[in-house]
Chains A and B, each alone.
Chain A
Amino acid sequence: DSGVTQTPKHLITATGQRVTLRCSPRSGDLSVYWYQQSLDQGLQFLIQYYNGEERAKGNILERFSAQQFPDLHSELNLSSLELGDSALYFCASSPNSGLAGHTGELFFGEGSRLTVL
């Protein structure tokens, strides 16, 4: 058990809909990372938050947004869903800021599997 909790574990929805994925990081970890993993795209970095502020941004679509709350949990919002958004979405946490490359070990949740029909 990594200590990172993601909900829901599975989600099935229709195209055009909006979903919210939730992540609770390990106790004390200030950084939260979001990744999308699909069969044909591998593990794609979406976004990182550190202590409530956006730290780094990767290949995150404009239809997607995220935030980290004062209690350090994070939510990833996916809107106007398309078939291609079907994937495993992982959250990972770390005590490190990621600043100047000082990224230590990431602790991953078990993921939220999103299926868009």
Chain B
Amino acid sequence: SQQGEEDPQALSIQEGENATMNCSYKTSINNLQWYRQNSGRGLVHLILIRSNEREKHSGRLRVTLDTSKKSSSLLITASRAADTASYFCATGDNYGQNFVFGPGTRLSVLP
């Protein structure tokens, strides 16, 4: 079963706009991670936020985590055409079980 579920499934925006993707999960977690995948390529780690953190920044990325709502959001500011990719959240539960990914959000940034 999937732990994380991203929303929306697909998002299309213009270059320069901000993109926000959401992730909901089911069980208690130690950390939540976001990954990016260009079409047909391997996933690349973007950012990790721990369960005791509420917000984290990395360049144009901002991630928030609300453990009470079991949700996280990824904000990409000032998007570029090169940001076009699929974005996945991933979590492992506190019992050391499966490290699973959500179905992903396909982001298209139009020039």
Please, what's the 1-or-0 string for B39-82, where 1 marks a CB less than 8 Å from any CB in chain A? 01111110010000000000000000000000000000000000
Q: Would you give the shortest CB distance from B4 to chain A, in whole angstroms?
A: 10
Answer whether residue A58 sits at the interface, using C-beta atoms and an 8 A cutoff.
yes
B48 to chain A: closest residue by CB: A105
- In this complex, how many residues of chain B approach chain A with their Cβ under 8 Å: the count is 28
- A100→B45 contact, CB < 8 A: no
Does B30 contact A107, Cβ atoms closer than 8 Å? no
Interface contact A88-B40, CB-CB below 8 Å: yes
Q: How distant is A1 from chain B, measured CB to nearest CB, in Å?
A: 10
User: Which of B2, B31, B42, B88 interacts with A101 by CB under 8 Å?
Assistant: B31
A6 CB to closest chain B CB (Å) equals: 8
- Interface residues of chain B, those whose CB is within 8 Å of chain A, are 2, 29-31, 33, 35, 40-45, 48, 88, 90, 92-104
The chain A residues found within 8 Å of chain B, CB to CB, are: 2, 4, 33, 35, 42-43, 45, 48, 55-58, 88, 90, 92, 97-111, 113
